[in-house]
Structure 1
């Protein structure tokens, strides 16, 4: 996302408050991407549908839970390919093989469609076969579509057309909200149709942008599947990170005492799901800082450091570049903490009003507080993980992701045993511990960077 970051950075030359606000608004929306915008869109669909008094009830709940499951499992399944393909694309750009990117992307989309389609059909035949045929068909189509959306987002994130990207996202989710008013008479199937159309608009729009950006020497290439281009550890990093983010939700869904049956197959934990999804909306300012400071300021100093290494600079000059880069990392963390800290404080102050406005039980407030802190820490987790990727510290990134999954599983299990007063602490402790350890490891690595750069090179 450094390409977008550098373009947004130009907007900061406008020293006015409006210029600053506009830059952070663009950065927050783009860096948060479909994940946060989808939460906003689905919440809007819920609010609009609730206006249809007497007709919502079961089918609205079924729709909202269906979307949550679609998001969860599409993110996890697509993670098997996302980081591997991102690395392949980055390598091809570095080697000036731009003509190979588009045909490999088309092949990757085909593979994603095939794998997600087979996975979805198996789920249909094993667990969903007793449900309505149209509902299952829409779920399958939405699932395959979302897996492809997550893959396409990789490409558009690397483009500098931030205004177009933002407009595309907005059109997609506004379309979902508008279509939901037209199709809500058909119940959950109508809303799933609106979701399908909206995400189709999103995917097609992103594909058009990608086809305009890249050229191809042939229709299909499968270079990304060659052994020399596959980094198996990236598969597990992506998988464990996404499972680490979702495992606490799954455990609450499948624990009878904390969840309810929705349609005979899907389950939901109302007491746990709502606060965490509301809390995720608070990360937009922190993600904006992440994009502007890590993907822009840090990347500039990172490039300067390795340019000095490759150009044969003296050791003293290289050490100076490292110190400048270290300062940029420290400044990035500091700004993320400041921006997200102020945001969390504001949401803390407004928490009771937000819960009351949504007509939720006051019991949600305590869990909402915990989730606000957890999601804020997740921004720092992502920043640390991203910096590990830049330095190719893949083992450290793996253990950080695996640690999140393992600790979240253990601590969430303990919180379920201890009772409602401890709900939310599992994810909070897991993300806090792994983030702090990751930052300490990163600091130690950066302090030894010259040794790592020159003495630990592969022959």
Structure 2
């Protein structure tokens, strides 16, 4: 059912996203060629990013890395060749990025087909699981809103620079935000290679004792060991991110002055503030992922909702203050996200036996809703179309 769900979800996102983005492009003021390139690139992004989510299941990190390297090399070579031929810069670079992402898209899909069978399950069968795990869908939505809403709000503020038509930006804020965002790679990598590697065996052992009728004493001991490893790994993760953020703030500002990015005092202030904000986000997001490990979907939903609302509301409030304080809106939202995640994870892990044994429903519940109905509707439409093609 994996590949059908991939194409079903990709198709739905292409249709809904294509309509919305198409309407934007029509009124954006972009030329025909630029609009066509943007629209094609948008479609590639949907399929590629969706494929990346599926690729986490196969853990073929070598294949994923090669796909990224190939895309980067092709993008640079294509861009250089097109620029040398005299094609306008914007169109040349858009074509280059589209070609590079096209390579990565094909490569990623090929990896999926190597690992998963074609399957004869309906492409829209996955929609019923959206109803079953609806909090997960909203958690992902809120995390993305929290990450990107402050950028969009800044595009509407005093720092706005109009590129063309509806295409606007705030480079004085966007460039520091982009570089500050890169500082969380330390925590992202650390979660995969350290937290998951060291924590997961303890986590698996603890839950297997419940499933395999382990003794109460063994369960208590396994839970104690699991929480000890969890706290240790979180402490190390936070410490590594703290040291990285401090190093970048102290040294990064000096190095950025030598890069042709036009950094001034205002941008350096944004950079320092956003580095702290993204650092807090990285650690809080690690704790949110651990809440999902423990199936605390309600806690993860609240945590991500606070993050989305906090960064959005505080960023809007910051627009009423002098420009030097603009980055503090995102920082304040990250602080709220961090504090709630810490408290929720501590509260939940101390009561794990209760949530495992007492909160679960006695009888299995089959949750259905609007997404299940949408899946049935699309299945009937697809079956009707296939019957017409046979006739």
TM-score, length-scaled by structure 2: 0.87
SS of the residue 1:163 aligns to = helix
Residue 102 (structure 1) aligns with: 3
Question: Could you say what secondary structure the match of 1:333 adopts?
Answer: helix
Query: Residues 130 and 137 of structure 2 are in contact (CA less than 8 Å); yes or no, is this contact kept in structure 1?
Result: no
1:325-364 equivalences under 5 Å are 325-359=226-260, 360-364=263-267
Partner Cα distance (1:105, 1:438) in 2: 31
| Aligned equivalent of 1:236 | 138
Aligned counterpart, 1:131:
30
Contact preservation (8 Å) 2:71, 2:101? yes
- Offset at 1:197? 0.6
Q: Which residue of 1 aligns with 2:346?
A: 443
What is residue 39 of structure 2 aligned with on the other side?
A: 140
The match for 1:300 is: 201
Matched, 1:259 2:160: yes
Equivalent residue, structure 1, for 2:148: 246
**Matches of 1:169 and 1:458, distance apart in 2:** 44
Alignment of 1:369 onto 2:268:
no
Equivalents in 1 of 2:121, 2:40: separation in Å? 24
Aligned to 1:320: 221
Q: Structure 1: which 5+ residue stretches go unaligned?
A: 1-99
Shift of the 410–112 alpha-carbon distance from structure 1 to 2, 3 Å rule, reads: closer
Cα deviation, residue 423, structure 1: 1.6
The 5 Å alignment of 1:10-409 reads 100-125=1-26, 127-128=27-28, 130-184=29-83, 185-218=87-120, 220-226=122-128, 230-255=132-157, 257-359=158-260, 360-409=263-312
Q: CA deviation at 1:163?
A: 1.7
**Residues 1:206 and 1:228: Cα distance change in structure 2 (over 3 Å):** closer
User: For the pair shown, which has the larger CA radius of gyration, 1 or 2?
Assistant: 2
Determine the C-alpha separation between the residues in 2 that align with 1:410 and 1:110: 33
Say yes or no: does 1:454 pair with 2:353: no
TM-score by length of 1: 0.75
Contact 1:103 1:216 in 2 (8 A): yes
Indicate if the aligned counterparts of 1:355 and 1:362 stay in contact, CA closer than 8 A: no
Task: Identify the structure with the greater helix proportion.
Answer: 1
Alignment match, 1:81:
none
Equivalent residue pairs, number: 357
> 5+ unaligned residues in a row in structure 2: which ranges?
363-391
Cα deviation for residue 383 of structure 1 reads 0.7
- Rounded to whole Å, the distance in 2 between the matches of 1:151 and 1:325 is 32
Q: CA deviation at 1:327?
A: 1.5
Q: In 1, Cα distance between the equivalents of 2:119 and 2:355?
A: 39
